[in-house]
Structures are given as C-alpha cells and as structure tokens.
Chains A and B, each alone.
Chain A
Amino acid sequence: MKIWTCIVCGFVYDEAKGLPEDGIAPGTRWADIPADWACPDCGVAKADFEMQETPAA
C-alpha cells in the first residue's frame, strides 16, 4: 500500500484508506483509480498533475 500526494494542493491519497466518500474503496491502488478522477480538494486531474509517490508510514 502506498501514499500519493497531490503536487498542487498537498492532498494525500492513502491506498490503504481509499476514499470511501468519493466511492473509492479502502485498498484501491493508485493505478486502479479512473483516469478521469480529479483531486477532491483542488480539482487537478490525475493524468495531468503527477502525484508524488511516498513510502507508506
């Protein structure tokens, strides 16, 4: 399980936690999130702004 950080606003996506509010189940890998998904905090597209891979704590 990995953690990804939005480089525009700092939003953190934790694969272990998912985003149940956004319809993304816990354990969903970054690669399995739809390409048209956008950052829930700032709206930046998944495809167009890289997320930084950081090691899980």
Chain B
Amino acid sequence: MTPIVIAGSGLAGLAVAREFRRLDAATPVVVVTADDGVSYSKPMLSNALAAGRTAAQLASADAVQVAAQLGIELRPWTRIAAIDRDARLLRLATGTLAYGRLVLALGADPRRPVLAGDGADAVLTVNDLAGYAVFRAALAGARRVAILGAGLIGCEFANDLAATGLGVDVVDIAPHPLGRLLPPRAAAALRQALDATGVAWHLGRTPRAVHRRADGHRLIVELDHGPAIETDLVLSAIGLAPRIALAAAAGLATGRGIRTDRLLRSSDPAIFALGDCAEVEGLSLPFVMPLMTCARALARTLAGTPTPVAYPAMPVVVKTPALPVVVSPPPAAAQGAWQEDDTADGIAARFVGADDTLHGFALVGAAAVARKAALAREVPAWL
C-alpha cells in the first residue's frame, strides 16, 4: 500500500501521525524530517532556561522511540528537494519516496532582521531544539542578552532570561511589548512587571547593526536612535515565516502559508497542510491549540471520514511568569473597541463590537487570567 507521507516531525507532524494511528492501524505512515527526529515541545524552548533544563532534558523521545511508539517509519536527516505531483512522489537527496497522500507539516522559519556590521552573523535564533542547545551553550559566561522583538517569543525569553539573573535589553519598533496583541494599558502592565525583573526596554526603535567590540568579547547593537546596547549575546525573535517554498515550487497555492480549505486540503487534493506552514481558510495561527485541532480533524479525514476543521476562539497563553498573560485576539475583520478594566493585579481588556458582541480579550495578571475559560465561551467561533 502506498503510504501516507508526513513531511515534518514537529508537534504538527507527529500529532497527525498519532491521531491517525488511533483510527487506522494498518495504512503505512512515513514521516520524513530534515532534523534528527527527536520529539520535543517547541513552546517549552522559551521557558526552559530559568528551570535549568538542557536540550537533552527537553527531548522526550528519539527518532527510534517515536517510530516504535507510533507504529510508523521515521526517516531523520531527510530533506525533500521537490514534490512531483504528477507521479505522487517526493524527490529526496537519495532517491524518491512515493506517497498516496502527502501531509505538509513543515513549520516556519524565524524571520531574520536586516542588520549591518561585523557582528550581524553572531545573532542567534531559537526555532528548534538544536537552536536552543546552541543558545544555551552561548549563554555560558554571559551577563547581558539583547533580544530583538518584543512579541510573544521575545517577551517569554525576556522573562526567562531575567529570571536566571541575566541583564536583558529588548528592542522593538512598537511602542509597547506585545504591541500587536495587547491594548495599551494591558501592555503597560506587562512592561512594568518585566521592568521589575530587570528588563530594559528600547521601544519605538529599530536595530541597524551589530558590531563586535574591538576586544572581540562583546557585541554592540546600534539602533536607529537612542544609545547603543552593549551586550554579550543577541537573540532575534521578530516573528515567523511559514515554510512555503517547497509547496510553491510544486505549484500549490500559497499566501502567507500553504493555502488549504477546511479539510486542510491544499490546491492539490492529495496534499494536505497544517501547523505553522499552513494557512487554513485564510487563517495562519502558529500556536499549539490550532494545530492539535487540525491534527484531529485531518486524522479523521485521512482515515476515510472527511472532517472539516472547526476553530472555536483559542486564547493564547503567554508564558511570562512575572505577570501571566492570555490573549484571544479579535479577528482581523472584527469592528469594535477595547475596554480595559482594572483587576486586583492587572487588567482585563475586552474587545467589544457595536452590538455588544465580545470579539476578543486580553487578560493580564492572575485575577484576570482566571476568567479565560468563561470569556472564551462568549467569543464567536473563528472558523
């Protein structure tokens, strides 16, 4: 039997394999992955330093164990050069692999900042377990870290690094941390809480260059205005770019991500996509809950019961222990305004439409966060 081939062994790829196996024990499943195939939780990478966890401790199973647990074939260190849609096969560096149906769970690449200077090549990103291992090793002896980007990952790393006792500088063009997710007062509360942990903000600024100091030991981050930052390490966390090149080269429809319908079918009905590489009915949601929702629906579809994915409102938990944050962003098309109310230890913000519909919310602080489930039930489904 021609196998179901899953490209990618991150949370999305392995979740599909696991959910499919619960429904179908017979159809062969082959997972191909460019890395070592070790199973780990990507969301934990921005939360593991203060807990003292090494990359090895974050690995829950190696490729051999994953394959045995799931009853699949897992091929590590395997890059896909091209998809031959007419022949229904993948072109690999060594040979080809035929598929009956293909699932693209390729993930996303970190966006790279455009920087001048002889230290630009020293800027690190943490997008996978190997990147975490490199970053953790580079931290040895460091006293200060500069983070480019005050979004979700940048804020999580800022909190985690500050909690280890390091000095942290955060740079972002936006005027507030989590500027795309939080209304102003909620963002200010998060900023104050991280201030108290020793985070120094450089907001409304753009990094221009990274220079190596003459002694070779430290780095200087030059900004478009304001004082330069002297630091030991620079971590970039300015966002993700869905991996669409392989799909686009095969002629599949792509936008921000690989475009799919609610059955998670791409423009080729034998090829599906989910997770950070996918754009499902226009929604590109690089978070765990949407991909788990997709994995369950896709497993049923692949097992013979076509199952459109349904998205309830899925609040995003931002792991900033200094001040917990949960955000259910209003859909792009939603009309309304933020209403921010004080709580005992933070802000509860609601994005309300003219007809009193709750389109989204942002909860900052433990008292507000406790209202997550109740508020999420009020928000209309996303899809």
Task: Please determine whether B41 and A7 come into contact, CB atoms closer than 8 angstroms.
Answer: yes
Closest partner residue, chain A, to B326 (CB atom): A41
Contacts of B319 in A (CB 8 A): 9-10
* Binary CB contact string for chain A from 24 to 56 against chain B (1 if under 8 A, 0 otherwise): 000000000000001011111100101000000
Chain A residues within 8 Å of B, Cβ to Cβ = 7-11, 21-22, 38, 40-45, 48, 50
Point out the residue from A8, A21, A22, A45 that lies within 8 Å of B43, measured CB to CB: A8
Query: In this complex, what residue of B is CB-closest to A11?
Result: B317
Among B18, B292, B317, B370, max chain A CB count under 10 A is at B292
Q: Is the interface of B mostly helix, strand, loop or mixed?
A: helix
Find out whether the CB atom of B373 lies under 8 angstroms from the CB atom of A9: no
Interface check B231, CB cutoff 8 A = no
A10 to chain B, nearest CB (A): 6
Question: Judging by beta carbons under 8 Å apart, are B373 and A10 in contact?
Answer: no
Contact surface of B with A, Cβ cutoff 8 Å: 11, 15, 18-19, 41, 43-44, 47, 60, 287-290, 292-293, 314, 317, 319, 370, 372-374
A43: contacting residue among B18, B47, B293, B374, CB under 8 A: B293
Residues of A within 8 A of B288 (CB): 8-9, 42-44
- Report 17 cross-chain contacts, Cβ distance below 8 Å, ordered by A residue: A7-B41, A8-B43, A8-B44, A9-B41, A10-B47, A11-B317, A21-B374, A40-B373, A42-B287, A43-B288, A43-B289, A43-B290, A43-B292, A44-B288, A48-B15, A48-B18, A50-B60
**CB contact between A10 and one of B19, B44, B289, B372 (< 8 Å): that residue:** B44
Since A9-B317, A43-B288 are in contact, a sample of 7 more A-B pairs with Cβ atoms closer than 8 Å, ordered by chain A residue number, is A8-B11, A8-B43, A8-B44, A8-B288, A9-B44, A10-B44, A42-B287
**Chain A residues near B289 (CB-CB < 8 A):** 41-43
Closest-CB distance, A1 to chain B (whole angstroms): 20
Q: Which B residues touch A38, using CB under 8 A?
A: 292
Q: Which residues of A contact B372 (CB under 8 A)?
A: 21, 40
List the B side residues contacting A44 at CB < 8 Å.
288, 292
Binding site of A, secondary structure by majority: helix, strand, loop or mixed? loop
Query: In the complex, A50→B108 CA distance in Å?
Result: 26
Q: When chains A and B are docked, how far (Å) is the Cα of A10 from the Cα of B289?
A: 13
Write out the residue numbers on chain A whose beta carbons fall within 8 Å of the beta carbon of B374: 21
Contact of A9 among B15, B19, B43, B60 (CB under 8 A): B43
Query: Per a CB cutoff under 8 Å, which of A7, A22, A42, A50 touches B373?
Result: A22
Residues of A within 8 A of B11 (CB): 8
Chain A residue nearest in CB terms to B43: A9
Bound CA span A26–B293, Å: 27
Q: Is A45 a contact of B373 with CB atoms below 8 Å?
A: no
Minimal Cβ-Cβ distance residue in A for B373: A21
Closest Cβ of chain B to A4, distance in Å, is: 15
A9 to B317, CA, bound (A): 9
Closest chain-A Cβ to B17's Cβ sits at a distance in Å of 11
- Give the distance in Å from the alpha carbon of A42 to the alpha carbon of B319 in the complex: 12
Q: How far is the CA of A42 from the CA of B286 in the complex (A)?
A: 12
Chain B residues near A40: list those with CB within 8 A. Answer: 372-373
In the assembled complex, the CB of B116 is this many whole angstroms from the nearest CB of chain A, namely 38
Task: Tell me, rounded to whole Å, the shortest Cβ–Cβ distance linking B382 to chain A.
Answer: 14
A45 close to B292 (CB less than 8 A): yes
Q: Chain A contacts of B370 at CB under 8 A?
A: 21
Q: How far apart are the CA atoms of A40 and B313 in the complex, in Å? A: 12
Among A7, A44, A48, A50, max chain B CB count under 10 A is at A48
9 shortest A-B CB distances, which residue pairs? Answer: A43-B289, A43-B292, A42-B288, A21-B373, A8-B41, A41-B317, A9-B43, A48-B18, A42-B289
Nearest CB of chain A from residue B128's CB, rounded to whole Å? 15
Contact residues in A for B290 (Cβ distance below 8 Å): 43
Q: Please measure, in the bound complex, the distance between the C-alpha atom of A11 and the C-alpha atom of B289, giving whole angstroms.
A: 13
B110 to A: closest C-beta gap in Å: 20
* Given contact pairs A10-B319, A21-B373, A22-B373, A42 touches B18 in the complex (Cβ within 8 A): no
